[in-house]
Every structure is written in C-alpha cells, then in structure tokens.
Amino acid sequence: MNTTTNETNNIETTANESSSTNIKEVSGVTVSNGTAVVTETPTASVVEEAKQIQDDAQSAVEKQTSTVNEAESTKSADENDKKC
C-alpha cells in the first residue's frame, strides 16, 4: 500500500497498486485487466482520493506529451542538420 500526501490539496491517500497493471486502486474498487470495478458504494473521501489519482495521472500524461514533443522536435532538427 502506498501512502502519499498531495501538497496542493493536502489530501492523504492510501491507494494500493494493482499487481497486474500498476494502477492505483482506492477502497471499494478493484482493477482487473485495466478495468476498474466498483465493489462497494464509495464515500466522499474515496471519491476525492480517486479524483486526485485521476488528476495526478492526467498531469503525468501532460508531462510525457511535452517530453515526447520536445524529443520529436530535436530529432527533426538533427535530421535537417544532416541534410545540409
């Protein structure tokens, strides 16, 4: 189990990571083959925890997208330099 504190919202999470997907899971939710299955009615704190996980995941995607775009630009520039 991982315990993290989000500094922005000061929310402590105790999410588990699914052994098959490394996706964080909250109480009452099981991840199987990349699909989340709700097994019990979530509390307000679980909903907030899930929202924070979603926000963190989206932030990671945005950072990776930026990194990929920079790498592609660098590759294109290098290829253009070789043509000259």
Q: What share of the chain is helix, strand, coil (3-state, %, to 5)?
A: 50, 20, 30
Residue 5 is predicted with a pLDDT of: 44
What tens digit of pLDDT does each residue of 17-71 get?
655 556 677 888 888 887 888 899 989 998 999 899 889 889 989 989 989 998 8
State the burial class of residue 19 (Cβ atoms within 10 Å of its Cβ: 0-12, 13-18, 19+).
exposed
Residue 44 is predicted with a pLDDT of: 93
* pTM for this predicted structure: 0.54
Q: What region does 21 belong to: left with phi over 0, alpha with psi -120 to 50, or beta?
A: alpha
